């Protein structure tokens, strides 16, 4: 069975640090025979949630932009790798807009009490986050945000790669261990023979 792996880069920078690690993770996934797809979120027009409440009765977002394109890909993929730089101890603005638009998925699950997505129960996700701070508290903030988002997507958070003290553009290229771990975790995520970890496997490079 072919596994589909979707990689979403939320960095506003082309070839930003988290973006480069995502590409290496997708290489790891492809090495297992998976079908990979890379998305740079900045190439899409996605606005913020306007908190209109319409999704509380319909389960759908009424805003007409590129969110629906991304949502369809999110719903169809078997594996997801979500990469973000860390801004002010959390995901970047581009990532947060996408996450907040997931309110319609939250409404489906918790307000309307239905699961119209009919998604495969074995879907798994990985997070890549790179920040300039020396504090590992930034990783905790990312984990809480992404776990909440993945819950609404009906996808299981199983792998994480977190790197601190990396800030300027391209600095991650001096961090060979980060690329090795990105490749390894990407291959574990995509390999259909990999047992489902009981707890998320998080790698923190500090």
pLDDT in tens, 77-134: 999 999 999 999 999 999 999 999 999 999 999 999 876 555 556 899 999 999 998 8
Mean predicted confidence (pLDDT) in 178-194: 96
| Radius of gyration of the chain from its Cα atoms, rounded to whole angstroms | 16
Predicted pLDDT of residue 113: 87
pLDDT for residue 201 is more than 80? yes
Q: At 160, which CATH number?
A: 3.40.50.360
Residue 157 burial by CB count (10 A; 0-12/13-18/19+): exposed, middle or buried? buried
Q: How many domains does the structure of the chain reveal?
A: 1
pLDDT for residue 167 is more than 90? no
The percent of residues in the chain predicted with pLDDT above 90, rounded, is: 85
- The domain of 30 spans 4-205
Angle at the Cα of 121 from the Cα atoms of 115 and 125, rounded to 5 degrees: 105
pTM of the prediction? 0.95
Instruction: Tell me the pLDDT band of 56, cut-offs 50, 70 and 90.
Output: very high
The mean of the pLDDT values for the chain is: 94
């Amino acid at each position: 069975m072919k596994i589909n792996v979707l990689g979403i880069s939320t960095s506003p920078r082309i070839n930003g640090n988290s973006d480069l690690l995502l590409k290496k993770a997708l290489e790891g996934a492809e090495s297992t025979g998976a079908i990979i797809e890379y998305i740079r979120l900045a190439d899409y027009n996605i606005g913020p949630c306007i908190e209109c409440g319409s999704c509380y009765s319909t389960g759908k977002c009424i805003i007409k932009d590129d969110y629906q394109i991304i949502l369809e890909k999110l719903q169809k993929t078997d594996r997801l790798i979500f990469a973000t730089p860390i801004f002010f101890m959390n995901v970047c603005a581009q990532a947060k807009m996408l996450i907040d638009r997931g309110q319609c998925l939250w409404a489906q699950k918790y307000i309307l009490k239905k699961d119209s997505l009919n998604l495969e129960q074995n879907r798994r996700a990985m997070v890549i986050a790179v920040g300039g701070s020396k504090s590992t508290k930034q990783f905790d903030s990312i984990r809480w945000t992404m776990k909440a988002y993945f819950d609404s997507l009906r996808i299981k958070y199983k792998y994480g790669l977190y790197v601190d003290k990396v800030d300027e553009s391209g600095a991650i290229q001096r961090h060979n261990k980060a690329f090795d771990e990105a490749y390894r975790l990407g291959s574990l995520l995509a390999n259909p023979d990999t047992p489902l970890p009981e707890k998320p496997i998080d790698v923190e490079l500090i």
